[in-house]
Amino acid sequence: MNATQRTVVDDTVVSLDYSLRLENGEEIDRSNGDEPLQFIQGNEEIIPGLENALYGMIVGEEKLVTISPEDGYGEYESENYVMMPRDSFPPDMDLIVGERLFVRDSESDQEYPAYIDEVGDEAVKLDFNHPLAGETLHFKIKIVAIRDATTEELAHGHVHGPGHAH
């Protein structure tokens, strides 16, 4: 390795090929071969365990990374279930178990993703856990490219792709 070899450090745009398997070996996600995942390192755009594993890696380097729930999508929390009155949803809305919807917090005006767990005549049970909460994650990763983030990307907090209108 020569002294000018780029390494993954904060404020670099990392292009990453990856595949993700659960503890049981099931592959649940992968990058699309010619479209790697791109993000600004150190910007909390990806889960902490994966971000921490990338520091110091170089272009072309491959690694297997195991991430515990606390460094991934968190532990599964039984208190992250909320019962909502059925009439708080539009009457014509199809409420299907397993579907994702967004619930707006009236105090903060923020939207949070939730998954429909149960649908009853009077109430709907929503699960606010991330679908991968409580899971140990097994990533196979490869650094495809590293470049400095632009001033604009850092200001906006995300990567601007090729041909992106500035």
**Residue 9, amino acid:** V
Cα(41)–Cα(46) distance, integer angstroms? 9
Q: Quote the distance between the C-alpha of residue 158 and its chain's center.
A: 14
What are the structure tokens assigned to 119, written together? 């649908």
Name the H helices within 79-165.
151-156
CA-CA-CA-CA torsion sign (43, 46, 52, 56): negative
The pTM (predicted TM-score) of the whole model is 0.79
For 47-103, the pLDDT digits (tens) are 999 999 999 999 999 999 999 999 999 999 999 999 999 999 998 999 999 999 998
Mean pLDDT in the chain? 91
Q: Tell me the per-residue pLDDT of 47-63, one tens digit each, with 9 for 90 and over.
A: 999 999 999 999 999 99
Identify the pLDDT of residue 54: 98
Q: Where, residue-wise, is CATH 2.40.10.330 in the chain?
A: 78-127
**List of residues 6+ apart from 62 with CB closer than 8 A:** 140, 141, 142, 143
Q: 19 CB contacts (<8 Å, ≥6 apart)?
A: 27, 29, 30, 31, 139, 140
Position 150 pLDDT exceeds 70: yes
Would the pLDDT of 115 be above 80? yes
Q: Where in the chain is the domain with CATH 3.10.50.40?
A: 12-73+135-156
63 φ, ψ (degrees, to nearest 5)? -155, 145
Closest CA to 120 of 87, 78, 98: 87
CATH class of 12-73+135-156: alpha beta
- For the domain covering 78-127, report its CATH number: 2.40.10.330
